[in-house]
Amino acid sequence: MPDTLKEIILNEIKSHGAMNLGAFTSMALCHPEHGYYMNGDPFGAEGDFTTAPEISQMFGEVIGAWVIDVWMQMGQPSSVNLIECGPGRGTLMLDILRAGKSVDGFVAAVQIHFVEASEGLRQKQAETLKGYNVSWHGDISDITGDIPCIILGNEFLDALPIEQLKRGEKGWQKRMVAVNDVQEFMFTWADAEKELTQCLPSKTVSHKRYEVAPVRNQFISSCVDLLNASGGVALFIDYGYTTSHYGDTLQAVKKHEYVDVLKGIGACDITSHIDFDALSRHARGQGVHVEPIAVQGAFLTKLGIKHRLLALKNTAFKTKSLDDATVLIKTMEQSLDRLVDNAQMGDLFKVMCFHNGDDLKPAGF
């Protein structure tokens, strides 16, 4: 009988002591055999959570318009790396390429790269992108920067682990995962190493809990290295906040419900909100230009998502019966609301963009 993921982590903790929160969540999500993302397709109404590209094709189409615009501003290079990190089912890329078909030279210029940990999702992405040439990578640092790059990621950063810190009587402590008497996981605290506390915003004196994300910083550094080597731009969309503050945003989701982070290991998604303030500071410190963080609703609206809806409505009236068109249009309107409405995804989701080209003026900010 093969070990379950729970047994593997329990054994690891028994042999080596309590585990950093980041190491625990990394194993839960990306253990090569039993990690959550290795178990197949978690997306959509039937799955555990629904992402923007899965809500509506309009999302990917206007992101496609954004990509085409930056490609044009870059001087329409005849070869460009279009890199998507954590592409899920591959839906966003497919919608971008469909939008790009109407633009001379764009699809021919694009070299598609996916950064994807899950073998099962790689297969799904290959099916979605059938007919296109795609290269897969385990890590963004595996991509060489010999041609300009456009780097994208929707709901990717939230899957990269965080650590949680609090100030104790004797200094900073980090949150760990240990094992209790009945062989269940439990949280504990241990002294935090200096490297972790260096990620904190300055003047942090409260005894509340703070989140830091060295792995996200490291990932951003790898993106910056790529842009510095070859020029280009990066765009990341995710849930999070724009002013660093204390708080606990660690969450686990299964079948669209919040569940206990320490239970059902490998069977639920574990994520946390992005501190875009900290990530922007980190990226600026690496020497790239970071646009002011935008909210998703305003960003998509500036890119013309409402005009896209109008165009799709016209097509529906022309190609479908009145009844079918009416039903379809209602669904499209609801999807658009979900993406841009401030009470839904419009305000919670933020857009981060950085680049090293002085002449580049990415749309939407």
Q: Does 117 bind ligand SAH (CB under 6 A)?
A: yes
- Cα–Cα separations (whole angstroms), residue 296 to 54, 92, 109, 301: 15, 15, 28, 8
Q: Does 134 bind ligand SAH (CB under 6 A)?
A: no
Nearer CB in complex with ligand SAH: 53/364 = 53
Q: Does 118 bind ligand SAH (CB under 6 A)?
A: yes
Q: How far is the CB of 124 from ligand SAH (least distance, A)?
A: 9
Q: Does 64 bind ligand SAH (CB under 6 A)?
A: no
Q: How far is the CB of 302 from ligand SAH (least distance, A)?
A: 20
> Which of 24, 71, 106, 156 is close enough to bind ligand SAH by CB under 6 A?
156
Region 159-178 residues binding ligand SAH, contact defined as CB under 6 A: 159
Nearer CB in complex with ligand SAH: 197/251 = 251
- Cα–Cα separations (whole angstroms), residue 27 to 19, 24, 160, 244, 295: 11, 5, 11, 27, 31
Site string for ligand SAH, 66-105 (x = CB under 6 A): --------------------xxx-----------------
> Which of 9, 18, 121, 143 is close enough to bind ligand SAH by CB under 6 A?
121
CA-based nearest residue to 261, from 111, 65, 36: 36
Please enumerate, as own/partner, the contacts of 308-313 that have beta carbons within 8 Å and a separation of 24 or more: 308/58, 308/61, 308/62, 309/58, 309/333, 309/336, 312/58
Q: How far is the CB of 318 from ligand SAH (least distance, A)?
A: 30
Which strand (E) or helix (H) includes residue 83? strand 80-85
Phi-psi region of 171 (alpha: psi -120 to 50; beta: other; left: phi over 0): left
Q: How far is the CB of 303 from ligand SAH (least distance, A)?
A: 17
Region 8-47 residues binding ligand SAH, contact defined as CB under 6 A: 29-30, 37, 43
Q: Does 116 bind ligand SAH (CB under 6 A)?
A: yes
Q: Which residues of 42-81 are buried (b: 16+ CB within 10 A; e: fewer)?
A: bbeeeebbbbbbbbbbbbbbbbbbbbbbbbebbeeeeebb
Q: How far apart are CA 160 and CA 26, in angstroms?
A: 8
Residues near ligand SAH, by CB under 6 A: 29-30, 37, 43, 51, 53-54, 86-88, 115-118, 121, 154-156, 159
